[in-house]
Structure 1
Amino acid sequence: MESLSFHISEILEYFASKDVNLRDAYLAASFFKNKTLTLKVELTLEEAKTRELISDFLKEKNKKLISFSMTRDRIVCYVKQIS
């Protein structure tokens, strides 16, 4: 498993390019502050949408999202290479 770190602005710019309401995306993303999600966690709609967008963002980099966590201004993603 590999770890990638992105500034939150990179993710928000990606959300904007996908016509996602930035305020909603930021509120959803901020929900994850200091939390780590795994596939075992039951997700709310906002969590699921944010996870889906981050997964799409990583797919463009040939990576599969395993889990992620947030600090104040960065998103740390644990990923696998898509084969």
Structure 2
Amino acid sequence: MPCFAIVVAECLALRDGLAYDVHNGWSKKMIEGDSMLIIHCVNPAASIPRSIRLLVHDIILVRSLFEDVAFKKV
């Protein structure tokens, strides 16, 4: 697993960015990221590492507020 602090920082950035977009009324979003771990975790039926489980659940909750959102590895 990549460095714990980096993964947590990327999860926080994703969660906060999605929350910002919801707050500003955006309903459709394409998220591009370079962390395959996080991209897999936010998709259904993925195994989520214990160290980021709560953050990923927050991301999934905020994701549900969008009309359409997609996550892509770049």
TM-score, normalised with respect to structure 2: 0.33
Q: Greater RCO between the two (CA within 8 Å, min separation 6)?
A: 2
More helix by share: 2
What is the TM-score when the length of structure 1 is the normalising length?
0.31
Greater strand share, 1 or 2?
1
